Amino acid sequence: MSGTRSLEERLLEMEKKEQASREKAKRYAAKKKALQQRQAEDERKKRTHRLCQIGGAVESVLGRPIDENELPKLIAFLQRQERNGKYFSKAMQADNVTDSVTNSREN
C-alpha cells in the first residue's frame, strides 16, 4: 500500500489545485478589468476627438472661435431647427451631407 497515496495526501493535492485555480481566476479577472479600462479609455479618446472635430467645424463656419457662453445659443438654435421641421436631422442624413460638401467645393 506504499504505492497509493493516502486520502490526506489526495486532499492536500486537491486543495493546492483549487488554490492555484483561484489565483489563475484572479489573474484573468485582473486582465479582463485592464482590458475593459483600456476599452473605456479608447472610447473616451474617440468621443473627445469627435467633439473637438465638431467644435472645429462650428468655428470654421463662424470664422471665429466660439465662446463658452455662446454654447446655449448654439444649442437653442439647433433645438429650434429640430422643432421647426427636423432641419438639423435632415441636414445630417448621409446623402445630404455628401451633397452639401460636394456643392460647397464646386462653388
How do residues 11-45 score in pLDDT, each as one tens digit?
999 999 999 999 999 999 999 999 999 999 999 99
3-state secondary structure of 28: helix
* pTM, two decimal places: 0.63
Kindly state the cell numbers that stand for 96: 445630404
Min mean pLDDT across 45-49, 57-61, 64-68, 88-92 is at 88-92
Residues 36, 48: Cα–Cα separation, whole Å? 18
Grade residue 57 by pLDDT with cuts at 50, 70 and 90. very high
- The residue type at 29: A
pLDDT in tens, 58-69: 999 999 999 999
The answer to whether 90 touches 96, Cβ cutoff 8 Å, is yes
